[in-house]
Chains A and B, each alone.
Chain A
Amino acid sequence: MTDTRYASGVKPGRLSGEDIAANFTDMHPPLGDHEAAVAADRCYFCHDAPCVTACPTAIDIPLFIRQIQGGKPGDAGRTIFDQNILGGMCARVCPTETLCEEACVRNTAEEDPVEIGRLQRYATDTVMAGNTHPYTRAAPTGKRVAVVGAGPAGLACAHRLAMHGHEVTLYDARKKPGGLNEYGIAAYKTVDDFAAREVDWLLGIGGIKLETGVKLGEAFTIRELQEDFDAVFIGVGLGGVNRPGLPGETLDNTEDAVDFIARLRQANDKAALPVGKKVVVVGGGMTAVDAAVQAKMLGAESVSMVYRRGRDAMGASLFEQDHAAKNGVSIVTNAAPVGIAGQVVTEEITFVRTETGPDGKLTTTGEEFSREADQVLLAIGQKLDIASPRIEIENGKIKVSGPGRTNLERVWAGGDCTPGEDLTVVAVAEGRDAAEDMHTMLTEG
């Protein structure tokens, strides 16, 4: 086999299998018993705790940490799952630095919050290791609900509905359930096939029939679901991607970052995955960071992440920016792409310098520069992709009122396809709350 370690172009085998495995280990490794005890001891059990307010699913954080202190991580897990059935995934992927941990009063005292995320993982792992599903279903209600999209929103919704005794059919267009947990989240955040294991565990509640490879808009319409079911939940996420419309953007080796990540997430052998020598990622959000860092972990020699505005406008949190920098990604700001060039495949990308005026408007300075790039990953945002003329859309998202009610009768929606922050934990909260509202409607008529 030829040595491709330093070859130009998009090539596999830049790093040994061991090096790649080492790069992709757990970003926040699990706490041992002793570490968990020490970490839990730091919680003050605050009154009306700010961390709970900061958690979109409102997990009773002081209680679950106290349960860990009391030597009962299983009870702690139960406290978490009561509010957030995907508490295991959230423990791994939540940007806690901008959620619960940002609110921790220990930040004021010593600039060091209680490690809520890792404690949550400790607790949820304990329950999930038990291999039995901790919840039982209420008596059958005879009501049937269709949930479209088996991402965090759909899964949380389906679980809550099943718990209340309804019969759920869960549809997903993809081969595997899990949504972006399975196809999107960075591999080093959810190791050992956790996304798939979590879905299996969640479905252990019973009463949820999963049908994959069936797409709303192709296999059935919303109208048909309305006719066949007592209620419908739409949690299809953001299936489309934004494209900048650059000259050369269809060249080989220029692609959407989400596709690159999905391929990476589904790869059995990451060492066999091709990656560029010089990679440029366009975008400033979480997806851009994940694409850039993972390209670096696969062995790209240089990776830059180029964002059109300034650092403070980046979607990626400070923590994520640091994470990218620590992994050797260079972050370039105030540069907008103007074109991609190459003979046959991608070779170069050109940017123009930008500045933000006092009115917040972005203008270009006219100054251009180019970067050698044998791979360009575009991460400038995902968008709603739903083939339904009847459902009301506003600002690119499905319009909802209250707990996810759409304009259509008995149709709810939640997660990334509705307004609100695009985060796993937000999707879970919206799925759960919609389920509660549906349950009220289904039982009270």
Chain B
Amino acid sequence: MADLTTDFLGIKSPNPFWLASAPPTDKEYNVRRAFEAGWGGVVWKTLGEEGPPVVNVNGPRYGAIYGADRRLLGLNNIELITDRDLYTNLEEIKRVKADYPDRAVIVSIMVPCEEESWKAILPLVEETGADGIELNFGCPHGMSERGMGSAVGQVPEYIQMVAEWCKKYYSKPVIVKLTPNITDIRKPATAAKLGGADAVSLINTINSITSVDLDLMAPQPTIDGKGSHGGYCGPAVKPIALSMVSEIARNPETHGLPISGIGGVTTWRDAAEFMALGCGNVQVCTAAMTYGFRVVQEMISGLSSWMDEKGYTSTADFIGMAVPSVTDWQHLNLNYVTKARISQDDCIKCGRCYAACEDTSHQAISMSEDRTFEVIDEECVACNLCVNVCPVEGCITMEQLPKGATDPRTGQKVGDYANWTTHPNNPGAVKAAE
């Protein structure tokens, strides 16, 4: 079994699986249970200022979308930061950290964008002995209307300023949690770095309305006939999170800035993918909320045995390994030519590939009387749609044409690497020296 011990910003945890700041980490009872179940660390549910805590709605907070068989794919919430007293939380954090010195305990904070507020809360947090803080600049609802959360996260200058205050009034690592509700994720990440933050974590939830009740004519979850946009998370948001993570990882200005990956992590594989794109660890919320704390066992065993198979002895061996392979579209090899191949042995003859290609793509699949489906190489542009819609994994695959072969669609021979920047159709093509 590979060793999963992870060092993130000097904070050691027995594995890279942390619980994200959310209800699973809202109190001592939960966090103790989480640690007993094997979680490597937690980011405590976001704390607010001293004084009367925020209040949550008293009707439903969550909405969900499902795949087949009611598998939860996306979760939406209109919950706010912790609605428990600041000091209660601080005492609990201190107790838990003392009892679990080998686990990471990070405190998430969201207070108004004024230096005094941060100056007031940071020493209290420092006192708990927690390993670091995470600045919640991400909450898309409720708090942003009060000038906190994503209202700050959408203004890079504020991020930088608050990060600076935190570094000034707090001695341990500072992580800035980024909101995805922004056009270019590199900007807030750069601001965090400029402000001296030790790391960024992303993504927080995405603005969303999960569904509309067509009888009440109101968004769901519906509170007394009305609904509000909430924050979307769960397996459905993973692709968005991966892309944002990769942008930060490969951006020269933020390259090397430690990242804690969040968004839809449900199995070991999701975690490995985030880490391959440069994350030092991952945080999980929806998977735990859907299946309970025990899901971490599958993540631990899966990541560990995958590392064994690959010969990785430490998570550091593969963190960031896929970053160099993320490139801009214009650098992709246009001479990489593939054709779809349908395995007749595996085909169950549902015809979904045919419908997809015939109706919406390139008419590159033929169908015979006896429902045999075959690819017409002369028409196949290798778009992958048939692979994606086929219900049988591995039935349709993409086969690469070797160099020198003629692509029956274009009549051209497969040549050496060449991309759009030098392509004759590109008006801005860089001409080869004449």
Measuring CB to CB, which residues of chain A are less than 8 angstroms from any residue of chain B?
Answer: 33-34, 37, 41-42, 45, 47, 60, 62-63, 66-67, 69-72, 74-75, 78-79
Contact = CB atoms under 8 A, between A and B. Distances in A.
Interface string B244-274: 0000000000000000000000011100000
A72 B268 contact: yes
Contacts of B71: 41
Given A63-B294, A66-B295, A75 B393 contact: no
10 contacts: A45-B291, A63-B294, A67-B301, A67-B302, A70-B267, A70-B298, A71-B302, A72-B305, A74-B305, A75-B305
A72 B392 CA distance: 18
Contacts of A75: 298, 301-302, 305
Contacts of B268: 70, 72
B393 A37 contact: yes
A79 B267 contact: no
B292 A41 contact: no
B359 interface: no
Given A42-B69, A70-B302, 12 more contacts: A33-B393, A45-B295, A47-B292, A63-B294, A63-B297, A66-B295, A67-B302, A69-B267, A72-B306, A75-B298, A75-B305, A78-B301
A34 B392 contact: yes
A277 B306 CA distance: 56
A62 B394 CA distance: 26
B315 to A, nearest CB: 17
A168 to B, nearest CB: 25
A62 B295 CA distance: 10
Output the residue of A60, A62, A66, A74 with the most chain B CB within 10 A.
A66
Interface in B350-407: 392-394
Output the residue of B267, B302, B305, B394 with the most chain A CB within 10 A.
B302
Contacts of B269: 70-71
A60 to B, nearest CB: 8
A31 to B, nearest CB: 14
Given A45-B292, A47-B292, A63 B393 contact: no
A66 B291 CA distance: 11
Interface in B263-317: 267-269, 291-292, 294-295, 297-298, 301-302, 305-306
Contacts of A74: 305
B298 A63 contact: yes
A74 B102 CA distance: 29
B307 to A, nearest CB: 12
Contacts of B393: 33-34, 37
Contacts of B305: 72, 74-75
B126 to A, nearest CB: 37
B30 to A, nearest CB: 15
A70 B291 CA distance: 14
A163 to B, nearest CB: 16
Ranked nearest first, the 3 interchain pairs of A and B with the lowest CB-CB distance are A70-B267, A75-B301, A66-B298
Nearest to B305: A75
A42 B68 CA distance: 10
Contacts of A66: 267, 295, 298
Contacts, number: 46
Nearest to B346: A34
A41 B306 CA distance: 21
Contacts of B294: 45, 62-63
A357 to B, nearest CB: 49
Nearest to A79: B301
B69 A67 contact: no
Output the residue of A33, A42, A60, A63 with the most chain B CB within 10 A.
A63
B274 to A, nearest CB: 15
Contacts of B392: 34
Nearest to B270: A70
A45 B394 CA distance: 26
Contacts of B306: 72
Contacts of B295: 45, 66
Nearest to B67: A41
A34 B346 CA distance: 10
A66 B294 CA distance: 11
A33 B268 CA distance: 19
B309 to A, nearest CB: 9
A104 to B, nearest CB: 14
Contacts of A79: 301
B298 A41 contact: no
A155 B33 CA distance: 36
Contacts of B394: 33-34
Output the residue of A45, A47, A71, A75 with the most chain B CB within 10 A.
A75
A160 to B, nearest CB: 20
A110 B306 CA distance: 35
A349 B392 CA distance: 55
A305 B302 CA distance: 49
Contacts of A71: 269, 302
Contacts of A41: 69, 71
A72 B69 contact: no
Contacts of A34: 392-394
A332 B237 CA distance: 61
Interface in B306-332: 306
Nearest to A78: B301
A42 B71 CA distance: 9
A72 B301 contact: yes
A47 B71 CA distance: 16
Contact of B298 (A33, A42, A47, A67): A67
A37 B297 CA distance: 19
B37 to A, nearest CB: 11
Nearest to B294: A63
A75 B297 CA distance: 11
A33 B306 CA distance: 18
A67 B305 CA distance: 11
Nearest to B293: A47
A191 B240 CA distance: 49
Contacts of A60: 297
Contacts of A78: 301
A60 B301 CA distance: 13
Nearest to A72: B302
Nearest to B268: A70
Output the residue of B69, B71, B294, B298 with the most chain A CB within 10 A.
B298
A71 B301 CA distance: 12
Contacts of A72: 268, 298, 301-302, 305-306
Contacts of A37: 393
